[in-house]
Structures are given as C-alpha cells and as structure tokens.
Amino acid sequence: MADDRLIRTCFVSFAVQTILQGLFLSLATLSVYFMLRRRSVKTPMDTCVLAGVAIVIACVTTHWTLSFLRLFRTFFKNDIQDPGAYIADANELLYCVKTLLLYISVTISDLLLIHRLYIVWQDRSIVVGLPIFLLLATIAVEGGEFAHHFVDESVGGSLFDTQLSAWIITIFVLDIVLNAYCAAMISWRIWKAGCGVVRFDGPRLTESLIILIESAGIYLTYDIASLILYLLQDDVFLLVVDCTPAVAAITYMLINVRVSLGIARQGVPTRPSGLDWAVASNPAAHHAVSLGVEQANLGAEGIHDKVLAMETMADGRGLELRVLTSASTSR
C-alpha cells in the first residue's frame, strides 16, 4: 500500500514538475529577452545576472530530465524489481545528481535574490552582509549533508533517516531565514518608496501582489511548507522537494520579468539603482507631471528658466519634486 502511494506520488511529482518546467522556461525566455533588449539600446547589462540565469536554466532543465529518466527506469527497466523501493532510494546515482542540481539551483537563486536586495538598497554592502553569511553557511551544511548522505555507507537510503534529519532541517532553517530577511528588506524598501504618494492607479491588493513577487514571498512560503511536510515525514515531501528547483527559479524569474516590465513602462534608459529600481517595480510610487513651459523672471540678469517636466518621487523623507529637463537662457 505504501509502495502504491509512492508510485502515485512519483507520477504526480513528474506531472507537476513538467508544468512548472514549462512556466519556468517561458519566464526565463522573457527574462533573457528583456536583458538582451536593454543591451540592444546601449544600456549596461549585468553579465553576472545573465550568467546566473543561464546556470539556473541549465540546472533546472537537467533536474527535470533526470526526473524523467528515473520515472522511465522505474517501469521500463527489467533490473528494477521493486519500483516503490527504487523511488524511495535516495542513495541511487540519479537521485544523488538530482540532489546536487537542487542545491546548485537554490544557491544560485538565493544569490540572485541577494543581488536584487543589494540593488534595491542602493548598493549598500552592510545590508547584504547577513544574507551572504547565511548563504555561505547553507552551502557548508549542504556540502556536509551531501558527503554524509552519499559517501557514508552507514546512512540509510531514506531522506527521513535520523542521521540526516539534523542536516536537512538546518538547511531549511538557514534558507528560510535568508529568504525571510531578503523578503522583509525588499518589501520595506518598496513600501517606503511609495509611502505618502497619492494612489491614482490600481487598488492596494495589486500593490501587495507586486511586493509579494518582488520580495520572493512565494518561495519563502513554499520553503516553510516543505519544512513542515518534512517534519511530519509525509511522502508528499518527495513531490515537494522534486519541484523545489523549479519553484525557486520561477520566483526569481518573476522578479526579473516584473522589474523589466516596470522599467520598460517607465522608460528608464539605464540600469536603475536604489529607489529608481524600486519605483520601476512599483508603478504606484511614480507619477510624471507635465507642466508646460513656464518662464520666470529672476532679476536684472533677465534669466528665464524653462521647466519642461517634473516628476513626483518618494524618498525616505516623503515627497520631492525633481526637475527632469530644464534650460536656462539670458537676454
């Protein structure tokens, strides 16, 4: 009976992975397109981000391919006598490679999220100190768990083995704290950028969804749910862990596409930084006000300032008016 449930879980897992893989590749294609499009108009492109996206695409796609191979071997290979035992065997070679790809995918996605946090906070190194430390700690624990699990023959083949529980729970806790920190800091920064600005467009529900996507709250929720399923030792955890690389990658691609769409709509000509990037991600915080040409006589010199446009921006102190284009002439 338990084997039947594992087999059903395996089929459902692959079906869900396939759906997520299609969604991920669509978002990844859009993400790369927007990055190359910004480059085509002679704007700076972060090659590190592009390289990170390429690595994530390779890892997630390979992970899905290995899931297909394991499913194929389970039912179409004569040397597999017990499909349920094969599916549950975490020491099997293909499963080892899948686990390694999972760790790489999540690590790169977390690194890209930290990079996003760094940009939103105007390249302030102190803000990313804690998440970088947590990421390094996570990598160290993942390396220890991988070596302990797949090198030490005394360890059982189940992910729920007591010798592995401490390692896996530690990995989850570190990753949850990292994502919670980044989510909170990005959400606060975006909310602060729009604080005090009159809302002319969509309702606050839309803004909440934007912040949720921007802050990677989706993956954070998924991570917490995964930890709960692991603590309950539910077989559904096997489905969830197989989908983790795709979910982590989709979360970052949503951020990347969302920001690119915001920048394109606002017409930001260069790589935005700080609040400009956050504002591009939160259209409700940015309103351009066209003023017609205004001439002001400022004294005996007869100087005329032509103010062509101004925009309302929000910073940490509230609202400010910024002159976008001005020209001065003398009589």
Would you list the domain boundaries of the chain? Answer: 2-281, 286-330
Cα–Cα distances (Å) from 41 to 35, 84, 260, in that order, read 10, 54, 14
Cα–Cα distances (Å) from 324 to 213, 239, 246, 311, in that order, read 30, 52, 42, 7
Side chain identity, residue 290 = S
pLDDT score for 18? 94
Backbone angles phi, psi at 159, to 5 degrees: -65, -20
| Integer Cα distance of 148 and 151 in angstroms | 6
Angle of helix 162-193 versus helix 217-231 axis, rounded to 10:
160
Q: For residues 114 and 182, is the Cβ–Cβ distance under 8 A?
A: yes
pLDDT-flagged residues of the chain (< 50): 1, 196-202, 264-331
Q: Residue 196, by phi and psi: left (phi above 0), alpha (psi -120 to 50) or beta? A: left
pLDDT score for 191? 77
Structure tokens at 189: 């920064």
Cα–Cα distances (Å) from 233 to 14, 159, 258, in that order, read 20, 9, 36
Direct distance between the N- and C-terminal alpha carbons of the chain, in angstroms, rounded to an integer? 93
Tens digit of each residue's pLDDT (9 = 90 or more) over 255-297: 878 777 765 444 443 344 444 444 444 444 444 333 333 333 3
pLDDT score for 188? 84
Backbone angles phi, psi at 319, to 5 degrees: -95, 150
CATH 3.30.450 fits domain 2-281: no
Structure tokens at 118: 């760094």
